[in-house]
Amino acid sequence: GLHTSVAADGIEMETILRRVQVDLIVLDVMLPGKSGLELCRDLRAQYSTPIIMLTAVTETTDRVVGLEMGADDYVPKPFDPRELLARIRAVLRRNGAAEPKRATTKQIYRFAGWTMDCARRRLIAPDDVRVELTMAEFNLLQTFVKSAQRVLTRDQLIELSGGDSDYSFDRSIDILVSRLRRKMEDDPKTPKLILTVRSGGYQFLPETTSE
């Protein structure tokens, strides 16, 4: 089963995070003190722990802002608790926390001076500095790297990276790509790694090697 800790606000959350290692954070947008969106931004400055945002069903803006600040998924309110539990388990599976990691034939990819270790879920920049990625960012980049130089539609990217159809509102993939570009490109406005293909989707440009 799952063990949970409950925090009423950001202060209690920080207290819990200092004494407990958590695998996932469910964060409501509406909280006393700092909002869930502000806390999401603060969390991303310190942790790569997956975050699921709880948002009002009509507030698309909250979803967009939450994803831009680093959330990995969202569940609109009101929701069935079983739906939330299913989302939690899906995110944990994608992050590798809910089941043992299986050995794969190709775990390390190299491209344009970068090194991506899929087994350890680490990304190392050309200057040998580790770049922190969220679960969703890592899964999407892994999809790009494994399909290098292929043009992939947004629907293909969602399917191949293990996303859910409910997650795929119009801008979800675009936001994740933007987040990757900010972390990886010298100039995110003129990307050299992930190219936008007009009326097609996206293309990962570098040649990759694997081992």
- pTM for the whole structure: 0.65
CATH number of this structure's domain 108-210: 1.10.10.10
Report residue 100's pLDDT band, with 50, 70 and 90 as the boundaries: very low
Could you read off the pLDDT of 26-55 as tens digits, one per residue? 999 989 999 999 999 999 888 888 999 998
Domain 10-95 top-level CATH class: alpha beta
Which 3-state string (H, E, C) describes the chain?
Answer: CCCCCCCCCHHHHHHHHHHCCCCCEEEECCCCCCCHHHHHHHHHCCCCCCEEEEEECCCHHHHHHHHHCCCCEEEEECCCHHHHHHHHHHHHHHHCCCCCCCCCCCCEEEECCEEEECCCCEEECCCCCEECCCHHHHHHHHHHHHCCCCEECHHHHHHHCCCCHHHCCCCHHHHHHHHHHHHHCCCCCCCCCEEEECCCEEEECCCCEEC
Residue ranges per structural domain of the chain: 10-95, 108-210
Could you read off the pLDDT of 109-144 as tens digits, one per residue? 999 999 999 888 899 999 999 999 988 899 899 999
